[in-house]
Amino acid sequence: MKTKTQIETQLRRKTNPELVKTIIEAKKKEKWVEVAGILSSPRVKKIDVNIDKIDKEAKEGDVIVVPGKVLSEGEISKKVKVAAFSFSEKAKEKILKAKGEVLTIMEEIKKNPTGKGIKIIK
C-alpha cells in the first residue's frame, strides 16, 4: 500500500478535477487510503472491472468499491451497492435492473466515512 506522501506526489500530476477531489477525500479517511493509492496510480495501471467479476466476488447486500471503471460485460444477479470512479451506461443499467445501487466513490465516502463493510475489487 502507498503512503500518503506517495499519493500526494502522484496527485500533483492529475488534471481531472473530479479525480483530484476524490483522491483528496479518500486520503483523509484511514479505510479509504488504499482506494486513494489506486486512483493516484498512473493511467496505464487503470482498473476496469466487468459486471460478471462483481457478481462472482460479491454477496447479496455488499458494498463494492471499484477504484476505476465498471464495464458491462456479463450479467449481475445480486442486489449490491457499487461505488466506482466511473461506469459505462450499460453497466449502470444492468446494476439498477438487478435492484442494485450505483454511486461515485466520492458519494460513498460521504455516506460511509469509516469505510465499514466495503469490499474493494481490483
pTM of the model: 0.92
User: Which residues, other chains included, contact 28 with Cβ-Cβ below 8 Å and sequence gap of 6+?
Assistant: none
* Confidence tier at 44 by pLDDT (50, 70, 90): confident
State pLDDT tens for residues 47-102: 999 999 999 999 998 999 999 999 999 999 999 999 999 999 999 999 999 999 99
pLDDT at 14 over 90: yes
**Contact 57/38 with Cβ under 8 angstroms?**
no
Q: Where are the domains of the chain?
A: 4-120
> Looking at this protein, which amino acid is placed at residue 110?
K
Q: How many CA atoms lie within 13 A of 29 on its CB side?
A: 19
pLDDT band at 43 (very low <50, low <70, confident <90, very high): confident
4-120 is classed CATH 3.40.50.300: no
Q: Is residue 114 over pLDDT 90? A: yes
Share of the chain above pLDDT 70, in %: 100
Residue with cell 468499491: 65
- The mean of the pLDDT values for the chain is 94
